Amino acid sequence: MALYTTLHLHNVPAGREADYGSWFDGPHRDALSRLRGFASADRYEVTPQQIMPDIPQPWRYLSVYDFSFETPAIDIPALGPLVADARDAGLIANDTTERLYTYRIFSDWKPSPNWRRNEPLSGVSIILANYVPGRFDEYQHWYEEVHSVEVINVPGHVAMKRGELAPVQIEPRHYCPGDQLVLCAQQTDDLLFTLKDFSARARGVSPSGIAMQPRSAAASVARTVHYFRKISGTKFWQNGIAYAGDLSVYPGKA
């Protein structure tokens, strides 16, 4: 069995946010439960706080689907018709931004001591990344042995898993800007502090005294970074307050 993660990056028409949330946590979850290899699915919304604020954030929403497959070529496409149900119902904005990317995951979550396993994630960040041609092994060694440890030990960051673009993709297929996926989990009610300390550690000026090693030359600068907060599941946190369900249905909390 191999681990696979599908990212569904999309927007929802104005006024249909609650409808999408009801569909996702109702009939969509029921249909997902019948897919072979299905493990989990959660929804996220883009945050105003970003580590690289100059990078465009074309997607308001991210859905993350996790699977364990023996026959990915057969099973990966099965998610397509389920997502198409939302598209056919007018729950996905027809603004040309929608993307579906599936990655083969190298290993399950790599945790840090920051991870409170009895509490839910507050959000995730994704990097659609690339390595410099001819330097794949060097890139993987740097990320696994050096950079992943540095990142998940930043306060608020708790775990990371990585993967590479799968040969089988879900229709409708589009160009993917990142062959490598970096998925980082957060547990924090102060994402801005996490991002500021991340940046300070990278520049060697963190009050913690911790400085990250220089970025590997094997890592391409062709990458996009996106932070999202969790809006599905039984409980999540914002500003120290626990909420149930989809954050977008709470007036003044979205």
Report whether 95 contacts 136 (CB < 8 A). Answer: no
**What pLDDT does residue 210 have?**
98
**What pLDDT does residue 242 have?**
42
- Residue 215's φ and ψ, nearest 5 degrees, are -65, 135
Instruction: Show me where the domains of the chain are located.
Output: 2-249
Which residues, in sequence order, are CB contacts of 142 under 8 Å at separation 6+? 216, 218, 219
Establish whether the linkage from the previous residue to 172 is cis, with ω within 30° of 0.
yes
| Calpha distance 43→99 (Å, rounded) | 15
**What pLDDT does residue 90 have?**
98
* Domain made up of 2-249: CATH architecture: 2-Layer Sandwich (3.30)
Query: What string of pLDDT tens digits covers the 254 residues of the chain?
Result: 899 999 999 999 999 999 999 999 999 999 999 999 999 999 999 999 999 999 999 999 999 999 999 999 999 999 999 999 999 999 999 999 999 999 999 999 999 999 999 999 999 999 999 999 999 999 999 999 999 999 999 999 999 999 999 999 999 999 999 999 999 999 999 999 999 999 999 999 999 999 999 999 999 999 999 999 999 974 434 444 444 444 333 333 33
| Calpha distance 119→71 (Å, rounded) | 33
**What pLDDT does residue 245 have?**
43
For residue 230, what are the CA distances in angstroms to 52, 113, 122, 225, 233? 20, 21, 5, 16, 8
**What pLDDT does residue 233 have?**
76
**What pLDDT does residue 220 have?**
98
